[in-house]
Structure 1
Amino acid sequence: MKTVKSSNFAALTSTRRSALAVIAGLAVAGASWAQGAFPDKPIRVVVPFGAGSSPDVISRLWGEQLSKAVGQPVIIDNKPGAATIIGTQAVLAAPADGYTLLYTVSNTTSINPYIYKNLPYKAEDLMPVSRILSVPLVLVVSANSPIKSVQQLVQAGKEKPGKMNYASYGIGISTHVAMARFLSSAGISMTHVPYKDGGLIDVMNGNVDVSFEPSTTAMGQLKAGKLRALGVSSLKSVAALPGVPPIADVYPGFVGDSWHGILAAKGTPAAVINKIAGISQQIIDSEEFRKRLTDLGLVPAGGSIREFQAFMAEDAKAWAKVVKDYDIKAE
């Protein structure tokens, strides 16, 4: 029988103890991973618009379905102001762990970087997760306006250069930039009148000649007979707005839609982003969610993270050109 020297025995014992410690450590790590699987606490979704706005309404519909899917509360945190900048900063100030997400619109990454000289964030600070929908903008005038078509609006603008005016939700907001694109396409000029609330009441009263209004807020006033729709900013007609032609029918290639999407802070784990993106796609594909969007005049989007990333790049490129051509600046 071969004996083991005491020194060798001690070394062997030490090795076994180390191995057992490693195994025990792996077991604890495994248990810890299982307990900490995302999400294991409420998810906060920052919406950079006020309660009752289109992003607020849709984010709550989406959040309710996300909550059911992950078994955790989804808390909508409204932080309006400064063309989505305040809400975006709040997300970037939080840990990049997926527990703070941004439900925002095109302004955040497609317009703000080109109109603000000292923007406190970069588009690259945000990671795409899911494009939820497109928001067609409706070119509207008062129901009492003599203007009944895009062609008539352009003709009036040419007859009274610079004397007509249009409303928007503020300098650099999508409704402003979309109108700049339209005026450029038509070769006419109008005076911009920015409003915090979009100025829709003044359009209905005829105090302002025209505006681009998101489909969600335009539809009610159209049905009430207070507004007249001249066209939509989508390349195709919108199911909820029958009889309203795309502006692209007059100016081929014209598009001015905004979009809603989920973004996360740079550095958020890929597994977390993939999980949220996968659930979001299931939500977008559901008949109930799609019907709700369609009824509101919105267009369901969806697609892969990579497709959303490519879309954001093209969208930013297009709006950057409009901003430059029309010399749009904001403080």
Structure 2
Amino acid sequence: MLLGTAALVGAALPSLAQAQAAYPTRPVRLVVPFGPGSSPDVIARLLGERLSRAMGQPVVIENRAGASTSIGAQAVATARPDGYTLLYAVNNTLSINPFIYSNLSYKPEDLVPVIRVLSVPYVLLVPGNSPIKTLGELIEAAKARPGAMTYGSYGIGQGTHVALARLLNEAGITMTHVPYRDGVLNDLVAGRIDLLFDPTTTAIPQIEVGAVRALAVSGPRRVDALPQVPTVAETLPGFVGDSWHGVLAPRGTPAEVVDKIATLSDGIIKSDEFRAKLRELGLVPAGGTPADFRDFLVEDAKIWGKVVKENNIRVE
């Protein structure tokens, strides 16, 4: 009887291996924790279309917006870990939210890194008619009137808020934060606030028509789409304040499935066509392995956790 059972189990092993090797055999759901038309949604769809072709199965985008990506992240963290539910995350999901929310609806360790897709530089903007033309001039103006100038963000604890808080810390200046739910860029254009860190994807169109002026970009190097705009680091050495996009899976997803998604995605990210599309939007292609993304996340969380603590940024 024992021999018979062992034989049956042994006979089943090749078919199980074949089933895993055949992944995916049905549509894959990619949860985007933002609304349709948002920057992460647009890029997730670009990636998803190409991943569908590479996998031979549809990649279906599911928008689950709200609570600073927590709703979408929780949905994926609690999903079956079989590779058929993935999360298209941003820096708030793992590098900021765990430090600002006392009761987060998911645990970072419930999600495993698959691949970092890209970096999102922020552009430091002032109104188009502002007398301030450089970051140096901005710092001088802020020092002359401590706390008087105002900066907007897309909400308390959002990447645009935390990155600008870091810039103020390193410049040794203070300003008044004005968090928005909607309309922050419109208010900057109208001159109701003095400055804003805005993602390249939404900043570039406003820069091109002269509605706003770009003082600096947050990344370690200048952005291809804005070659004339210096980095913050050219004035404040060592400063980096980019966001990122990446793909995550539920904890327990088989390593071979994670590796397959990462390998296919990396090929897409490294393609000339995809990289050119990202650069048009002012985004910086990333790519790499799950281990690369994991190492990046460890360091990224250290940086932003420190900024959150230093500025006592909390959301209840």
TM-score range, shorter chain: over 0.9
Match for residue 289 of structure 2? 304
Equivalent of 1:34 in 7, 10, 18? 18
Q: Distance in 1 between matches of 2:101 and 2:9?
A: 51
Name structure 1 gaps, 5 residues minimum.
Answer: 1-13
Equivalent of 1:233 in 204, 208, 218? 218
Where 2:219 maps in the other structure, the secondary structure is: coil
Match for residue 106 of structure 2? 121
Where 2:117 maps in the other structure, the secondary structure is: strand
Deviation at 1:47, TM superposition (A): 0.5
Deviation at 1:34, TM superposition (A): 3.1
Moved over 2 A (4+): 21-37
Q: Distance in 1 between matches of 2:279 and 2:121?
A: 11
Superposition pairs of residues 201-280 of structure 1, within 5 angstroms? 201-280=186-265
**Does residue 1:90 correspond to 2:75, yes or no?**
yes
Match for residue 182 of structure 1? 167
Q: Distance in 1 between matches of 2:183 and 2:64?
A: 18
Deviation at 1:22, TM superposition (A): 5.3
* Preserved contact between residue 168 and residue 198 of structure 1 (Cα < 8 Å): no
Q: 1:198 to 1:174 in 2, by over 3 A?
A: farther
Match for residue 326 of structure 1? 311
Equivalent of 2:126 in 133, 136, 141? 141
Deviation at 1:183, TM superposition (A): 0.7
TM-score by length of 2: 0.96
Q: 1:135 to 1:164 in 2, by over 3 A?
A: same
Match for residue 9 of structure 1? none
**Matched residue type, 1:117:** S
Which has more radius of gyration? Answer: 1
Name structure 2 gaps, 5 residues minimum.
Answer: none
Q: Distance in 1 between matches of 2:278 and 2:309?
A: 33
Match for residue 10 of structure 1? none
**Does residue 1:150 correspond to 2:140, yes or no?**
no
Percent identity for Structure 1 against Structure 2: 57
Q: 1:198 to 1:317 in 2, by over 3 A?
A: farther
Q: 1:198 to 1:117 in 2, by over 3 A?
A: farther
Deviation at 1:198, TM superposition (A): 5.7
**Matched residue type, 2:33:** P
Q: 1:266 to 1:198 in 2, by over 3 A?
A: farther
**Matched residue type, 1:118:** N
Q: Distance in 2 between matches of 1:39 and 1:291?
A: 28
